[in-house]
């Protein structure tokens, strides 16, 4: 394995560890910590430090060591955990992220960048110098199925210190399990003239007087496993009783088979012996290649089914059963491959708390970020492109939405503002919501600004939703002055373009004085979906199955015309807008009478239910999504294209896009064709 590959692996692992550290810090800040939170945070920082030491990242190692010292005091209970300590640790994590980014990009960080933080960590660690130490009391009675204690022989390799590991930290961790007797072995200590200051020469022998599972002892040494030779042996009661005189203590004579039998009967030991979940890193290009191959197999399988359907059933009776089995296996393969490609949105959400902290300080505001649903999984391609839109939305919320503490207090609100970021899966799509409890949109000001810039006619009358849409126009901004945060009119239009490029939609809800709410609706995956093939004239379209509510052939008396809005369908006491697809896409030779066609009712994200008029239903099919925008251009109401079993190109409908535009489309004249034949 090359050195560059090892460096790349370290940076990837460090990014994951930082995400974990930020999650633990968020729990500490919100008061959701438990007994394991600080330990998990310590392990993440220690792992980053250890790897950094191996690659010679001295500044990173020193900063991580300062955090580690403070965290060790918190773990022992010597230092009380309060908001000041959490804030300091958050600053440390931010600085670690900056140093990691600099090392990864080969850029230099200003000299003394971390000095103030290092000093703050030293002061915090020295503050409780005279405070009583809080040490967990050892168990008074040992369970019968555990040994009375453990003897640990620890022989470090010379490079132990260079990899940022210290025996003192191991002793402290062992002391949390129970009383420990420590003996240093000087056998390997060389003459003074041959000693290297950075090499480890001392061996250590520990006697732990606690009836704890072997796994608990192994966990203490998990970070130094590659830098030492380690032997852990159970000891008997008489050895523990004599442990106060370590020079006379000796391991009990326990046969290996008997020791294994004891471990096997111990529930904790049995749990510790279970194989841990394993993972491996795979190049993203290899996964994408695998996804593309599965997509081509899906197309090939659809063609086989198409051709088999034209054969007499008695000609090859086993063919149909074989194709059904192939379809089931192919679907399982596709789901397995797609699960490899998905990842939690946590990888993006974890970057936002730091942005909120820094921007709040810059703007002089007090803002709390609440994050939920970060474990929701989505296609990796979508996740990677979410960072910029969410960053723009958060900056907009803090700059334009959240008021200053004095303004909020005058308005009868808490001085601290709240921004809520969440993710959830709904109807085969992922919906990301970002809301704030700020001032909301001042529509009068927005409209006045738009008229001032010539974006709206002076006599134009706009609805509230149309005024809200103005903030997405390029170069539009209501900021009075240009600052480092806003005012140049670049942001919200970028958000919309980026979300649309992913096949998604963005909607806005706002109440002046109460806050705003942005809803981002995105596809779960950009590769394969289950679709219903419908015919409109001589064309075929794909409707995503997840969006379909029902289909029916309406009666003539159920169709009603609404002046200026087109037709609506009356069903079970409700009225659903009707959108004839042949009119929307200018398809000739299609059925125009709703009572002779089929209405497919779909659920849109923000416009409720919508009835799509088609000629007929062809059948359900798993289709491979091909980007239309990359190969042809963006078409309103179309989310992509696919290849059917007979080789024809079919367009995949974008249901959210149809829902947003159905009001004006129903009453508009036919537009230029958007059909597969027109695109070929």
Q: Are residues 350 and 338 in the same domain?
A: no
What pLDDT score was predicted for residue 1?
54
Are 465 and 546 found together in one domain? no
pLDDT for 563 beyond 90: no
Higher per-residue confidence, 356 vs 136: 356
Q: What is the pLDDT of residues 344-375, one digit of tens each?
A: 888 888 888 888 888 998 889 999 999 998 88
What pLDDT was estimated at residue 664? 42
Q: 71 with 183, same domain?
A: no
pLDDT tens-place string over residues 540-549:
999 988 788 8
Contact 520, 539 (CB under 8 A): no
pLDDT band with cut points at 50, 70 and 90 for residue 258: very low
CA dihedral 194, 200, 202, 203 (to 10 degrees): -130
Lowest mean pLDDT among 357-361, 549-553, 577-581, 633-637: 633-637
Higher pLDDT, 146 or 100: 100
Residue 19 or residue 660, greater confidence? 19
Residue 560, pLDDT > 80, answer: yes
**Residue 464 reports pLDDT greater than 50:** yes
pLDDT at 525 over 70: no
In a shared domain, residues 469 and 536: no
Q: Quick one: pLDDT at residue 354?
A: 83
Highest mean pLDDT among 158-167, 217-226, 332-341, 608-617: 608-617
| 492 pLDDT above the threshold of 60 | yes
Question: What CATH code is carried by the domain that includes residue 207?
Answer: 3.30.70
Of 180 and 238, more confident: 180
pLDDT tens, 420-458?
Answer: 999 988 766 788 999 999 998 888 888 888 888 888 888
Residue 417, pLDDT > 90, answer yes
Measured CA to CA, the distance from residue 81 to residue 39 in angstroms comes to 13
Q: Which of 74-78, 180-184, 551-555 has the lowest mean pLDDT?
A: 74-78
Please check whether residue 184 lies inside any domain of the structure. yes
What pLDDT score does 269 carry?
A: 40
Residue-wise burial string across 283-299, b where 16 or more C-beta atoms lie within 10 A, e elsewhere: eeeeeeebbeebbeebb
pLDDT of residue 420: 95
Residue 273 binned pLDDT confidence (cut-offs 50, 70, 90): very low
- Mean of the pLDDT values across residues 376-403? 86
Q: What is the average per-residue pLDDT within 319-332?
A: 83
Q: Give the closest residue to 64 by CA, choosing from 38, 36, 95.
A: 95
How many domains are contained in the chain?
Answer: 5
Domain boundary at 343, 358, 387, which? 343
**pLDDT at residue 303 above 60?**
yes
Instruction: Return the CATH number at 470.
Output: 3.30.565.10
Whether the predicted pLDDT of 142 surpasses 50? no
In a domain, 560, yes or no: yes
For residue 104, pLDDT over 50 is answered with yes
Q: Band of the pLDDT at 615, cuts 50, 70, 90?
A: very high
Buried b (16+ CB within 10 A) or exposed e, 432-470: bbbbbbbbbbbbeebbebbeeeeebeeeeebeeeebbeb
What does the pLDDT read at residue 342?
80
Residues 94-111, mean pLDDT to the nearest whole number: 87
Mean pLDDT for the chain overall: 78
Query: Across 226-240, 432-446, 515-529, which has the greatest mean pLDDT?
Result: 432-446
pLDDT over threshold 90, residue 128: no
Determine the average pLDDT of the residues in 30-50: 82
The reported pLDDT for the residue numbered 617 is 92
Is the pLDDT at 643 greater than 50? The verdict is: yes
What average pLDDT does the segment 460-482 reach? 74
CB-based contact 665:567 (threshold 8 Å) = no
The pLDDT-based confidence of 256 (bands split at 50, 70, 90) is: very low
Query: Which pLDDT does position 666 carry in this prediction?
Result: 39
In a domain, 662, yes or no: yes
The reported pLDDT for the residue numbered 268 is: 41
pLDDT tens digits, 185-197: 888 888 888 888 7
Q: How is the chain split among helix, strand and coil, in percent rounded to 5? A: 45, 20, 35
Residues 605 and 645 reside in one and the same domain: yes
**pLDDT score recorded for residue 421:** 94
* Cα–Cα distance for residue pair 405/678, rounded to 1 Å: 57
Residues 196 and 221 in one domain: yes
Residue 233 belongs to a domain: yes
Q: Is residue 142 part of a domain?
A: no
Residue-level pLDDT at 139: 38
Choose the most confident range, by mean pLDDT, from 124-133, 285-294, 577-586, 660-669: 577-586
**What SS3 class is residue 562?**
strand
Does 390 lie in the same domain as 478? yes
- Residue 345 CB neighbour total at 10 angstroms: 24
Domain boundary among 318, 343, 368: 343
pLDDT at 367: 92
Specify the higher pLDDT residue, 329 or 275.
Answer: 329
Res 298 pLDDT > 50: yes
Q: Which helix (H) or strand (E) holds 583?
A: helix 581-584
Q: Is residue 131 part of a domain?
A: no
Percent of the chain scored above 90 by pLDDT? 9
State which of 505, 523, 541 marks the end of a domain.
523
Segment holding 54, helix H or strand E: helix 37-54
Statement to judge: residues 352 and 472 lie in one domain: yes
Residue 657 sits in the same domain as residue 539 = yes
For the cut 60, the answer to whether the pLDDT of residue 237 exceeds it is no
Provide the pLDDT confidence category of residue 675 given band limits of 50, 70 and 90.
Answer: low
**What are the distances in angstroms from CA 211 to CA 130, 240, 345, 517, 619?**
31, 10, 42, 55, 66
Q: Are 582 and 557 in contact (CB under 8 A)?
A: no
Q: How much is the pTM?
A: 0.60
Residue 44 domain flag: yes
Domain of 533, in residue numbers? 528-679
Mean pLDDT of 200-224: 83
Dihedral class, residue 621 (left if φ above 0, else alpha if ψ from -120 to 50, else beta) = beta
Run of H or E residues at 66: helix 58-76
164/112 same-domain check: no
Does 395 share its domain with 544? no
Q: Give mean pLDDT, residues 663-680.
A: 48
CATH number, domain containing residue 631: 2.30.30.40
487 vs 212, higher pLDDT: 212
For the chain, helix (H) and strand (E) counts, in that order, are 24, 22
- CA of 438: how far to CAs of 9, 405, 416, 464, 513, in Å? 42, 11, 10, 18, 7
pLDDT greater than 90 at residue 418: yes
Q: Which two tokens stand for residue 388?
A: 């910029």
Q: Is there a domain that residue 277 lies in?
A: no
Residues 295 and 235 in one domain: no
Which one of 116-130, 194-208, 487-501 scores highest in mean pLDDT? 194-208
């Amino acid at each position: 394995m090359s050195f560059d590959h090892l460096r790349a692996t370290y940076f990837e692992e460090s990014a994951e560890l930082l995400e974990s550290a930020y999650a633990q810090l968020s729990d500490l800040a919100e008061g959701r910590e438990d007994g394991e939170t600080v330990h998990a945070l310590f392990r993440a920082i220690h792992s980053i430090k250890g790897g950094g030491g191996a690659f010679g990242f001295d500044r990173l190692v020193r900063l991580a060591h300062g955090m580690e010292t403070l965290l060790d005091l918190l773990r022992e209970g010597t230092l009380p955990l309060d908001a000041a300590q959490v804030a300091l640790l958050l600053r440390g994590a931010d600085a670690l992220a900056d140093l990691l980014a600099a090392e990864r990009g080969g850029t230099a960080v200003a000299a003394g960048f971390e000095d103030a933080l290092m000093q703050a960590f030293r002061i915090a660690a020295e503050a409780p110098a005279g405070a009583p130490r809080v040490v967990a009391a050892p168990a008074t009675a040992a369970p019968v199925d555990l040994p009375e204690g453990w003897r640990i022989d620890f022989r470090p390799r010379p490079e132990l210190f260079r990899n940022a590991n210290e025996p003192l930290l191991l002793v402290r961790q062992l002391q949390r399990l129970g009383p420990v007797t420590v003996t240093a072995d000087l056998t390997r200590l060389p003459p003074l003239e041959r000693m290297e200051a950075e090499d480890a020469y001392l061996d250590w022998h520990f006697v732990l007087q606690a009836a704890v599972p072997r796994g608990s002892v192994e966990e203490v040494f998990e970070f130094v496993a590659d830098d030492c030779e380690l032997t852990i042996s159970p000891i008997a009661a008489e050895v523990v009783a004599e442990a106060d005189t370590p020079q006379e203590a000796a391991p009990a004579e326990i046969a290996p088979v008997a020791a294994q039998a004891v471990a096997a009967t111990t529930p904790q030991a049995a749990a510790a012996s279970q194989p841990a979940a394993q993972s491996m890193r795979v190049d993203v290009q290899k996964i994408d290649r695998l996804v593309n191959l599965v997509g081509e197999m899906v197309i090939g399988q659809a063609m086989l089914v198409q051709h088999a359907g034209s054969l007499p059933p008695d000609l090859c009776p086993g063919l149909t059963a074989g194709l059904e089995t192939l379809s089931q296996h192919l679907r399982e393969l596709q789901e397995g491959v797609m699960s490899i490609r998905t990842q939690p949105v946590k990888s993006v959400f974890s970057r936002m708390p730091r942005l909120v902290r820094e921007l709040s300080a810059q703007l002089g505001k007090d803002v709390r970020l609440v994050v939920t649903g970060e474990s929701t999984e989505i296609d990796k391609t979508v996740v990677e492109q979410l960072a910029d839109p969410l960053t723009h939305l958060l900056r907009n919320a803090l700059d334009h939405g959240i008021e200053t503490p004095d303004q909020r207090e005058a308005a009868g609100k808490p001085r601290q503002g709240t921004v809520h970021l969440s993710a959830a899966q709904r109807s085969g799509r992922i919906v990301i919501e970002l809301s704030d409890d700020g001032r909301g949109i001042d529509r009068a000001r927005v409209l006045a600004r738009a008229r001032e810039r010539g974006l709206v006619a002076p006599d134009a009358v706009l609805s509230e939703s149309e005024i809200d849409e103005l903030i997405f126009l390029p170069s539009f901004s209501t900021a009075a002055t240009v600052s480092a945060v806003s005012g140049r009119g670049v942001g919200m239009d970028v958000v919309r373009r980026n979300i649309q490029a992913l096949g998604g939609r963005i909607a806005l809800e706002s109440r002046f004085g109460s806050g705003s709410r942005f809803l981002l609706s995105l596809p779960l995956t950009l590769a394969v979906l289950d679709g219903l093939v419908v015919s409109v004239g001589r064309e075929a379209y794909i409707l995503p199955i997840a969006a379909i509510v029902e289909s029916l052939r309406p009666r003539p008396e159920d169709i009603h015309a609404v002046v200026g809005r087109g037709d609506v369908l009356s069903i079970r006491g409700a009225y659903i807008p009707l959108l004839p697809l042949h009119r929307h896409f200018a398809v000739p030779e299609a059925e125009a009478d709703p009572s002779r066609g089929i209405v497919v009712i779909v659920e849109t994200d923000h416009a409720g239910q919508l009835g799509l008029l088609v000629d007929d239903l062809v059948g359900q099919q798993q289709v491979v999504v091909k980007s239309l925008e990359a190969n042809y251009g963006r078409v309103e109401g179309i989310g992509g294209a696919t290849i059917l079993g007979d080789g024809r190109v079919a367009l995949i409908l974008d249901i959210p896009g149809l829902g947003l535009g159905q009001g004006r489309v129903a009453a508009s004249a036919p537009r230029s064709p958007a059909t597969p034949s027109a695109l070929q």
